[in-house]
Amino acid sequence: MGERAFSLYDVEQFIREAGAEKVTEDAVLDLEHRLEKLTEVLANRAIRYAAHAGRKRLIKKSDVFLAGYGVNHRRPYTFSSRARRTNAPSSTQR
């Protein structure tokens, strides 16, 4: 088995800080595996963004940001269905 990218202790602490009182070893191993895969995907995307910008060796913060946009997270500025309604006055307004 290869070298771990994330410490199992740190992964367990992430889970506990998220609110879990008890954590199984399987849960820690699974999260560590998923973090490795996600990190690999993000790194490869960041490399592609840097190459597109004409940089072969330098990965910038903006490359990593763009690589992470849309990867298993919600858009930061979504509105509820209530906010998207028309500006028609409500029944309480006159």
Q: Report pLDDT for 77.
A: 47
Q: What is the DSSP code (8-state) at residue 68? A: H
For the chain, give every domain's residue range. 8-68
- Span 8-68: which CATH code? 1.10.20.10
Q: Report pLDDT for 66.
A: 92
In terms of pTM, does the model score above 0.85? Answer: no
Residue located via tokens 């191993």: 29
CA-based angle 51:52:54, to the nearest 5?
65
Token pair recorded at residue 91 = 């029944």
Query: Measured on CA atoms in the order 11, 18, 73, 25, is the torsion positive or negative?
Result: positive
Mean pLDDT by 10 residues, the chain (94 residues): 86 97 97 94 95 95 88 52 54 55
